[in-house]
Structure 1
């Protein structure tokens, strides 16, 4: 991999070790696995899911958000992971799903329903976007209708529900298991130019977050 051209705005040197780490992470980023947040309200949940996406190599996080103010994150919960993600905002869930399907994604909507498939019984090795819904009422009827599959985490307790971030972690762990077993983390999904562009973005964001100091 050729060394990415460093942004001219950087005012402090980047160590070879730091750059090598970014190159390693970029090679494992998954274009074909995405998360869609539909109308989540709790900043801690959003922040926790940002952290999960980074941990499992997911670069693209789609957010359905109609507000006029920027989305507020809990920085302690996210541990700064949001700066490593590409967050794409959509005004409606149907627009988001249509765009993803046009790119060849299958849509899995999380939903507690007797007709839903257990989350371990679906294929995550193809292009997949996982929709998680609002903390109170879950995914919308539109999302359920447009999804290719509705998936559920089986439970045997008195309370048949999980915190949205916890549920997302369980599902992403299964997606990670399947994709790693299929070797999808061994061969970069992004080409060299795309990876270099991503690394430059990371460097710029890291510099901005640290006030230009490393």
Structure 2
């Protein structure tokens, strides 16, 4: 009975390793090759997954949705809770590596909540987008709307930022990241501001066509 524990000869070792390799490739096909594209989500708590399990955060749910659609893309969570557009700009170079092909920019909610001047927000969003586009990175701006309790003047200055910047820098636009989720208590945490796992699922479903467009544009630009 102890013979099963005898050392394997070199031929038997090679055959064993070959069979093991075939098994691993079949069981884990994604490990056999790297994704064709790298997509970074540069954002704040709304995309970082505030108070959610890691697998429920926006980048992770988006990854699953894209995998199911057959896209060869790696989605990276570069969200930092509490980040403003100034914070996103300051960490842009190390958050978005040189191997990045496309970026979803989801920033600005904290600017509005803090009443930061829309001029500053516009300048930061434009600088982030400009620098990424100069690097040849395709950009999808996930827009935000100002809370209406800040008054119509603030909203009039804040709301058009994302569309204006997208038009100026040949970037794609998803007008409102929280579309279909904002103010719905069933889709948000108890704070009423951050999406729960179900809310993130709605965001992913809604934004998926625009992300698909982003990936197609990225592939086209890469030739």
* Shorter-chain TM-score tier: 0.3 to 0.5
Please give the TM-score of this superposition, normalised by the length of structure 1. Answer: 0.36
Higher relative contact order (CA 8 A, sep 6+): 1
| Higher share of residues assigned helix | 2
Please give the TM-score of this superposition, normalised by the length of structure 2. Answer: 0.35
The structure number with the bigger radius of gyration is 2
